């Protein structure tokens, strides 16, 4: 068999690298040597083992790590485990196996699989989030969060001690908070508070200003998983993991105040070299909108049920439409609902509130087509025109955004329009499309107010269709004091906002969609919170009490009350306050999986430090991460949380950079092999795919169809479609699907390594196409790159003799050979610098195809080629390098340099176009002048006829590239 001995050779070099710690990065920074920190996204070591999607990104980073080492960089390329996670605990529930046991077994398998692929990780820096030595520092960061507050004036986090100081009669650290208008103001406010109220006010502020705080909030409770989930972990009302239903339920939770960082998380995106799509997703998630808050006085008939004047504050991005506000809507949970509801409406409102509370997120989304709501019986006054407008409640207004209340402008908002139509509420148009020039004419025909016509899809005013939600020009928008009529939208917004502010009934306001991060999980298998409760008040553990470890338990059964299993272990739960010796209770929730992955990139820098999370000098040397590669599924979860923690650590002086990941690249998903599917009806007769609906029914008859996978040989392409070979009227579908167990199209990397070797797998993963792109797997393609590696082997080695070939000689290379080599160096280098691994491999294939033809192969040329290949197929390259007579690894050999002098040729071939059409080519001396080339073209047999009898009107000459003759 003429296959190179990849098995023995790959094992041999993996052993060699491990024995000599070839890829160990020096513990201390290397002064003067440029650093390169290249990081893979932290894998969760699942029981299923490695998937072919994993090695895609890992191979890319490994190739680059090896390349950068050869270019003289001090490279940090680590690997570790995001090891807390629900599956191990679910498994514990079923089998009683400790999650730690399962996790360690899975880690061992993952590690072994990764090592079998020859990745050049520095394994001495391996970390796992489940290791107490690691989560000690996760807990330490939590304490930082707990002991910090956000100063909106300085726009950074500060120690709680400063806020405590400001909230005291005689501050002692005033110089520490100099420059903070916020703390000055807080202190002044404190002094104005009557002394008997100060303690309570102080405690209240301290409680809610912390970056880690507790709140009783409506959470996404997933009964099946027995835990709450973050908003980001709920997809379409179901859990992201497992697809279980999720309901709303109020619970005491730890929250992290990520909202304080919303603006910085938003603006600092501009400094990052990340894919635009990811940045855009984060921008959308943060969801900044600028507008105004406006107070609407509640108009109550003088009566007993409201002794004080009330007002309702709303947030709007369109204060310019204020004159068109014809009703208000509060969210069903709004605090004022009870106070304003009239006795007649009380029962109806109560019923509506209860119905809304019961709805799950899923139901809320499903029911969004029809607007529901209930009138409170109360009215408010539109502050700009004094109109009395009804106040409703409706679940299309969210309690958690803005103020939980809106002013409804049905003429200029889709939702308000729909609601107004449903409940027959007035619609007043105050914006007309177009520039200011169009205003006078438009003004004339606009009625001041009109009732909505129920039933039609949109109301029409003249030629205009409502709702009109774009920018335009104001009409109908004036009172005795102010007019914004005729103003274009941006100016109208500005003018009315200034007027509102002057009257003290409104102000400019910025809002974010981003909500605080719900940080508690009711599970066993996670980091315990370093918090105890004394008399019900939370108290952080001192840093020297860390790590707080998980207790051993007899059973992993959920408590059933929504509490963590930890709550059922009195021996662990009940403790004493180390400060006072008084009885205390531990926090029984644990942290979510994202906690450990928020900062792991810092730990890799100084993995075994037991005095600090990371040594500052090392952090300064290695940060930021130069290249971060992983899947796009982490766009708003991990990547936003990690940026948030990093900024907190920056404010605390623990890290020196504002952002952790300078450059981010997303690898595209790898799909299964392309599948052809034909459809058959019940009688077994084939049905063309164009008639097969999504639900596998015939779209014409609605008869049920059977989908059947068929082999490629029975299919051919006809026009734009694939059809059955035996019956071309029957179309079949051709598609690659996501790999899944149920579909049975999962490729196991172990099988590929066994049959073709690790170098083949690495090469194929990169050869499939651009890294970022989604692409289907093809076993035939694997064989293709495997053949290439065999050809490389035979370039050097005589199969039968197992020795170097006689063709491989120490002769001086010809100019032609040198040109091939240096062109290859040039292209491979450029491709590596731009992460175009697929074309780098193509270039090397071309080189090998050419090299095979050489009867004499200059040793120096081939040695250089081995170095070019080595980042891609390191085992094969090391073996060839050794056989060529070198001692030791090639991992730190200098990367070959391209000599431009070797690239020049004596002659060049120039394509010649006539009137933009390619008509032929001429071969001329390199550097030939335009006139020479034109002369050569006129003499060329293929070109001359197209010029005959015509005059050349124009010559377009791109030196070295092309000549275009325009004739007529």
Partner RNA sequence: GCCCGGGUGGUGGAAUGGCAGACACAAGGGACUUAAAAUCCCUUGACCGCAAGGUCGUGCGGGUUCGAGUCCCGCCCCGGGCACCA
Taking CB under 7 A as the rule, does residue 780 contact RNA? yes
Q: Can you read off the two tokens belonging to residue 434?
A: 């177009």
Taking CB under 7 A as the rule, does residue 153 contact RNA? no
Taking CB under 7 A as the rule, does residue 657 contact RNA? no
Q: Which is nearer to RNA, 697 or 921 (CB)?
A: 921
Of 578-607, binders to RNA (CB under 7 A) are none
Residues 6+ apart with CB under 8 A from 575: 532, 583, 584, 585, 586
Q: Which is nearer to RNA, 331 or 522 (CB)?
A: 331
Q: Of the candidates 12, 71, 415, 886, which one interacts with RNA according to CB under 7 A?
A: 415
Q: Which is nearer to RNA, 486 or 631 (CB)?
A: 631
Q: Which of 254, 133, 145, 136 is nearest to 652 (CA)?
A: 145
Taking CB under 7 A as the rule, does residue 420 contact RNA? no
CB of 491: closest distance to RNA in angstroms?
18
Of 917-956, binders to RNA (CB under 7 A) are 917-919, 921, 942, 954, 956
- Could you give the angle at the alpha carbon of 774 between the alpha carbons of 769 and 780, nearest 5°? 55
Q: Of the candidates 498, 636, 804, 898, which one interacts with RNA according to CB under 7 A?
A: 636
Q: Of the candidates 371, 603, 618, 857, which one interacts with RNA according to CB under 7 A?
A: 371
Burial (Cβ within 10 Å: 0-12, 13-18, ≥19) of residue 486:
middle
Cβ(471)–Cβ(412) below 8 Å: no
Taking CB under 7 A as the rule, does residue 97 contact RNA? no
Q: What is the DSSP letter of 460?
A: E
CB of 739: closest distance to RNA in angstroms?
13
Task: Tell me the sheet residues that pair with 809.
Answer: 858
DSSP code per residue over 207-257: HHHBSEEEEEEEEEEETTTTEEE-GGGEETTEETTT--B-EEEEEEEEEE-
CB of 291: closest distance to RNA in angstroms?
5
CB of 324: closest distance to RNA in angstroms?
11
Taking CB under 7 A as the rule, does residue 217 contact RNA? no
Size of the site for RNA (CB under 7 A): 88
Q: Which of 922, 892, 885 is nearest to 907 (CA)?
A: 922
Q: Can you read off the two tokens belonging to residue 828?
A: 């491979």
Cβ(310)–Cβ(297) below 8 Å: yes
Q: Which is nearer to RNA, 287 or 538 (CB)?
A: 287
Taking CB under 7 A as the rule, does residue 144 contact RNA? no
Give the span between the Cα atoms of 521 and 254, in whole angstroms.
9
CB of 714: closest distance to RNA in angstroms?
13
Q: Which stretches within 802-928 are classed as H helix?
A: 815-833, 837-851, 859-869, 874-883
Q: Which is nearer to RNA, 146 or 764 (CB)?
A: 764
CB of 940: closest distance to RNA in angstroms?
11
Taking CB under 7 A as the rule, does residue 916 contact RNA? yes
Taking CB under 7 A as the rule, does residue 105 contact RNA? no
Count of C-beta atoms within a 10 Å radius of residue 569: 18
CB of 58: closest distance to RNA in angstroms?
19
Using CA atoms, how far residue 762 sits from 335, 454, 666, 748, 752, in Å, is 60, 64, 17, 14, 10
Backbone angles phi, psi at 469, to 5 degrees: -105, 0
Q: Can you read off the two tokens belonging to residue 769?
A: 């196409």
Give the span between the Cα atoms of 677 and 709, in whole angstroms.
5
Per-residue interface string for the shown chain with RNA, residues 821-850, x marking contact by CB under 7 A: ---------------x-xx-xx--xx--x-
Q: Please state at what angle helix 99-115 crosses helix 86-95, rounded to 10 degrees.
A: 130
CB of 325: closest distance to RNA in angstroms?
10
SS3 call for 528: strand
Taking CB under 7 A as the rule, does residue 632 contact RNA? yes
Taking CB under 7 A as the rule, does residue 395 contact RNA? yes
Give the span between the Cα atoms of 306 and 341, in whole angstroms.
10
Q: Of the candidates 104, 698, 783, 893, which one interacts with RNA according to CB under 7 A?
A: 783
CB of 327: closest distance to RNA in angstroms?
13
CB of 546: closest distance to RNA in angstroms?
34
**Bridge pairing between strands 74-76 and 148-151:** unpaired
Q: Which of 10, 35, 19, 128 is nearest to 620 (CA)?
A: 35
Q: Which is nearer to RNA, 611 or 853 (CB)?
A: 853
Looking at 42-50, 143-151, 550-558, 907-915, which segment touches RNA (CB under 7 A)?
A: 907-915
Taking CB under 7 A as the rule, does residue 672 contact RNA? no
Give the span between the Cα atoms of 744 and 764, in whole angstroms.
21
Q: Which is nearer to RNA, 511 or 588 (CB)?
A: 511
Q: Of the candidates 768, 789, 821, 880, which one interacts with RNA according to CB under 7 A?
A: 768
CB of 870: closest distance to RNA in angstroms?
19
Q: Of the candidates 206, 545, 674, 902, which one interacts with RNA according to CB under 7 A?
A: 674
CB of 916: closest distance to RNA in angstroms?
3
Taking CB under 7 A as the rule, does residue 757 contact RNA? no
Q: Which stretches within 537-579 are classed as H helix?
A: 570-573
Q: Which is nearer to RNA, 758 or 763 (CB)?
A: 763
Looking at 398-406, 526-534, 571-579, 614-622, which segment touches RNA (CB under 7 A)?
A: 398-406
Taking CB under 7 A as the rule, does residue 962 contact RNA? yes
Taking CB under 7 A as the rule, does residue 235 contact RNA? yes
Backbone angles phi, psi at 953, to 5 degrees: -90, -30
CB of 326: closest distance to RNA in angstroms?
13
Cβ(613)–Cβ(603) below 8 Å: yes
Give the span between the Cα atoms of 850 and 795, in whole angstroms.
11
Count of C-beta atoms within a 10 Å radius of residue 816: 11
**Bridge pairing between strands 857-858 and 808-809:** parallel
Report CA dihedral (491, 493, 494, 496) to the nearest 10 degrees.
110
CB of 917: closest distance to RNA in angstroms?
7
Q: Which is nearer to RNA, 538 or 770 (CB)?
A: 770
Of 265-324, binders to RNA (CB under 7 A) are 276-277, 280-281, 284-285, 287, 289, 291, 315-318
Q: Of the candidates 575, 778, 882, 938, which one interacts with RNA according to CB under 7 A?
A: 778
Backbone angles phi, psi at 34, to 5 degrees: -65, 145
Of 680-719, binders to RNA (CB under 7 A) are 717
Taking CB under 7 A as the rule, does residue 788 contact RNA? yes
Q: Round to the nearest angstrom and report the end-to-end CA distance of the chain.
A: 64
Taking CB under 7 A as the rule, does residue 69 contact RNA? no
Cβ(922)–Cβ(937) below 8 Å: yes
Q: Which is nearer to RNA, 168 or 790 (CB)?
A: 790
Of 495-514, binders to RNA (CB under 7 A) are 511, 513
């Amino acid at each position: 068999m003429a296959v190179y001995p990849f098995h023995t050779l790959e094992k041999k070099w993996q052993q060699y690298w491990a024995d000599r710690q070839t890829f160990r990065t020096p513990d201390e920074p290397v002064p003067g040597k440029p650093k390169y920190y290249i990081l893979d996204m932290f894998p969760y070591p699942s029981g299923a083992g490695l998937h072919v999607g994993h090695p895609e990104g890992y191979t890319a980073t490994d190739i680059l790590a090896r390349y950068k080492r050869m270019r003289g960089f001090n490279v940090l390329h680590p690997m570790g485990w995001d090891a807390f996670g629900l599956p191990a605990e679910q498994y514990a529930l079923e089998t009683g196996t400790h999650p730690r046991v399962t996790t360690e077994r899975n880690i061992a398998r993952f590690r072994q699989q990764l090592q079998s692929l020859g990745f050049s990780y520095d394994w001495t820096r391996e970390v796992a989030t489940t290791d107490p030595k690691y989560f000690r520092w996760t807990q330490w960061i939590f304490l930082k969060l707990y002991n910090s507050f956000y100063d909106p004036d300085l726009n950074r986090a500060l120690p709680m001690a400063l806020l405590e100081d400001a909230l005291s009669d005689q501050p002692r650290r005033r110089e520490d908070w100099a420059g903070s208008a916020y703390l000055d103001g807080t202190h002044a406010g404190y002094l104005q508070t009557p002394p008997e109220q100060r303690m309570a006010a102080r405690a209240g502020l301290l409680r809610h200003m912390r970056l880690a705080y507790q709140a009783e909030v409506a959470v996404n409770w997933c009964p099946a998983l027995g835990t709450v989930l973050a908003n980001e972990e709920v997809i379409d009302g179901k859990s992201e993991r497992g697809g279980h239903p999720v309901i709303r339920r109020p619970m005491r939770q730890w929250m992290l105040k990520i909202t304080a960082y919303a603006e910085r998380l938003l603006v600092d995106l501009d400094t990052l070299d990340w894919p635009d799509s990811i940045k855009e997703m984060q921008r959308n998630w943060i969801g900044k909108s600028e507008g105004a808050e406006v107070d609407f006085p509640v108009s109550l008939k003088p009566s007993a049920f409201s002794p004080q004047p009330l007002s309702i504050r709303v947030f709007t991005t369109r204060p310019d439409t204020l004159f068109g506000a014809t009703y208000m809507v509060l969210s069903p949970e709004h605090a004022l609902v009870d106070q304003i509801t009239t006795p007649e409406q009380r029962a109806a409102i109560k019923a509506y509130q209860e119905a809304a509370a019961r709805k799950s997120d899923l139901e809320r989304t499903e029911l969004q087509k029809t607007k529901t709501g209930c009138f409170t019986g109360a009215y408010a006054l539109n502050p700009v025109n004094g109109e009395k407008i009804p106040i409703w409640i409706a679940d299309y207004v969210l309690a958690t955004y803005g103020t939980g209340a809106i002013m409804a402008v049905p003429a200029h908002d889709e939702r308000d329009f729909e609601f107004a139509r449903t409940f027959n509420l007035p619609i007043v148009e105050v914006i007309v499309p177009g520039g200011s020039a169009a205003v006078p004419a438009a003004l004339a025909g606009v009625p001041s107010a009109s009732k909505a016509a129920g039933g039609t899809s949109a109301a029409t005013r003249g030629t205009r269709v409502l709702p009109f939600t774009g920018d335009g020009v104001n009409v109908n928008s004036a009172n005795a004091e102010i007019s914004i009529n005729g103003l274009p939208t941006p100016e109208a917004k500005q003018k009315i906002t200034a007027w509102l502010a002057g009257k003290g009934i409104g102000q400019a306001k910025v809002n974010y969609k981003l909500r605080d991060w719900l940080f508690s999980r009711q599970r066993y298998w996670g980091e315990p919170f370093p918090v105890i409760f004394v008399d019900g008040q939370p108290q952080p553990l001192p840093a020297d009490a860390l790590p707080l470890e998980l207790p051993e338990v007899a059973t992993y059964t959920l408590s059933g009350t929504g509490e963590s299993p930890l709550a059922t272990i009195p021996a662990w739960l009940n403790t004493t306050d180390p400060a006072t010796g008084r009885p205390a209770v531990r926090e029984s929730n644990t942290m979510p999986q994202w906690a450990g992955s928020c900062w792991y990139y810092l730990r890799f820098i100084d993995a075994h430090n037991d005095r600090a999370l990371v040594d500052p000098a090392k952090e300064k040397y290695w940060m930021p991460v130069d290249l971060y590669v992983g899947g796009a599924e982490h766009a708003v979860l991990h990547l936003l949380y990690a940026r948030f923690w990093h900024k907190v650590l920056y404010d605390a002086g623990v890290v020196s950079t504002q952002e952790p990941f300078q450059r981010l690249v997303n690898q595209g998903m790898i799909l299964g092999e392309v599948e052809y599917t034909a459809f058959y009806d019940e009688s077994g007769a084939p049905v063309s795919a164009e008639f097969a609906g999504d639900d596998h029914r015939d779209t014409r008859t609605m008869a049920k169809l059977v989908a059947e996978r068929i082999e490629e040989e029975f299919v051919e392409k006809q026009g734009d479609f694939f059809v059955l070979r035996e019956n071309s009227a029957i179309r079949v579908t051709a598609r690659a699907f996501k790999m899944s167990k149920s579909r049975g199209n999962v490729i196991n990397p172990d099988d590929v390594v066994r049959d073709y070797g690790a170098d083949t797998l690495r090469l194929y993963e990169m050869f499939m196409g651009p890294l970022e792109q989604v692409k289907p797997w093809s076993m035939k393609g694997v064989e293709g790159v495997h053949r290439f590696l065999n050809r490389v082997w035979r370039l050097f080695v005589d199969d039968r003799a197992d020795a170097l070939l006689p063709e491989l000689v120490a002769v001086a290379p010809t100019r032609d050979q040198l040109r091939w080599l240096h062109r290859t160096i040039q292209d491979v280098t450029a491709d590596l610098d731009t992460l175009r691994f697929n074309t780098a491999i193509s270039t090397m294939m071309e080189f090998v195809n050419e090299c095979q033809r050489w009867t004499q192969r200059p040793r120096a040329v081939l040695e250089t080629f081995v170095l070019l290949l080595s980042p891609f197929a390191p085992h094969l390259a090391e073996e060839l390098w050794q056989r060529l007579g070198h001692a030791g690894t090639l991992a730190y050999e200098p990367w070959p340099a391209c000599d431009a002098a070797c690239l020049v040729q004596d002659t060049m071939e120039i394509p010649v176009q006539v009137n933009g059409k390619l008509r032929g080519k001429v071969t001329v001396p390199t550097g030939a002048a335009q006139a020479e080339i034109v002369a050569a073209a006129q003499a060329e047999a293929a070109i001359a006829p197209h010029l005959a009898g015509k005059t050349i009107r124009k010559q377009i000459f791109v030196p070295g590239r092309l000549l275009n003759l325009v004739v007529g």
